[in-house]
Structure 1
Amino acid sequence: MKLRLLIALLFICSIVTAQTTVTTTIITPAHLKAAEDALVASGAGAQMKENITSMVKQAATGVPDDKKGKFMEIMNGFMNKYMNWDLLKDQMAAMYAQEFTEKELKDLTTFYLSPLGKKLNQKQPILFQKGALMGQQTVTAHQAELQQLMQDAFKEQ
């Protein structure tokens, strides 16, 4: 149970942790606006909320029933405080602006507003849940091996 909770929490953290790199790219206000527009068109705010909700629920499956309510309350409060769209959208827009040109961001916005882009937005939560379940099933199927590797690696010498 503790292993599943740890893996789920690490997965949550990995979703929102970006690798920091030094960049010399000058980002103009128009470039930053294009990044924000692309994120909004992609439904990034709603997807972030849905993904976090899904991960908290998934993490709660390993918590005893008598502690599950409090666990969910604490995790949801923490995530709402630190991992919400309003707090992170500017940082995410800057991150996207560093990785994509202004034109690419405008093209992404056009795509996300197209019928195919809208379909992708609708399917993303389902795909995320299926991917998370696939990952959990893979870890669970090999949990004994992982536990043995951890025991071997950390046993006292």
Structure 2
Amino acid sequence: MKVLKLGFFLFSLSISQFAVSDADSEREAEILLTSMGMEEAMTQTMSQMVDFQLQQNPTLAPFKSVIIKFFAKHMSWASLKSEFVKIYSEAFSAKELREINEFYATETGRKTIQLMPSLSAQGGQIGADRVQENIGELQAMIKAESERLQKLSVQ
């Protein structure tokens, strides 16, 4: 019986250590997301999504306030924060998140946070430009594959 109690105690202790780790990771993830300016980024993204939707479908313009309300409910930082904290705290240990947070607290880290959206957008533009420059090749490849598949379906 003592062995069973000791086993249960050790099991409980190991679970509580994981719970502390998870709580530490979640706390560090919240710090990271705050330092990354996720609330502001989500607000800006939400606004851009609404503008994009209205640009793609101008008939929705009279419903702009409804769309904003919908996005505020389902895409706002308040509605998504816990899920972001979860994915970051599952991807990184509390120690790793502390190290990331320490970096972002430096001048270089703050500069990284500030420049990352622009650098990512520039990288995306490079990719889009490259595809556009070579779109003819893609179209030819698709045409050749379509013809190949068509010949196979006839046989």
User: How would you bin the TM-score normalised by the shorter chain?
Assistant: 0.5 to 0.7
Structure with higher helix content: 2
Structure number with greater Rg is 2
Q: Percent identical across equivalent pairs?
A: 26
Structure 1 counterpart of 2:3: none
Q: Of residues 119, 123, 128 in structure 1, which corresponds to 2:115? A: 123
Structure 1 unaligned residues grouped into runs of 5+ = 1-24, 61-66
Q: Distance in 2 between matches of 1:135 and 1:54?
A: 21
Q: Distance in 2 between matches of 1:84 and 1:153?
A: 43
- Amino acid paired to 1:137: D
Q: Distance in 1 between matches of 2:126 and 2:71?
A: 23
Structure 1 counterpart of 2:40: 46
Q: Distance in 1 between matches of 2:117 and 2:37?
A: 11
CA contact (8 A) 1:52 1:79 kept: yes
What is the 5 A alignment of 1:52-71?
A: 68=56, 70=58
Structure 1 counterpart of 2:137: 145
Q: If the length of structure 1 is used for normalisation, what is the TM-score? A: 0.59
Q: If the length of structure 2 is used for normalisation, what is the TM-score? A: 0.60
Q: Distance in 2 between matches of 1:136 and 1:71?
A: 28
- Bigger RCO of structures 1 and 2 (CA < 8 A, at least 6 apart): 1
Structure 2 unaligned residues grouped into runs of 5+ = 1-17, 151-155
Residue by residue over 1:79-129, the C-alpha shift from the partner in whole angstroms, topping out at 9 and shown as x without a partner, is 655443222222221111112110111121222122111111111222122
Structure 2 counterpart of 1:32: 26
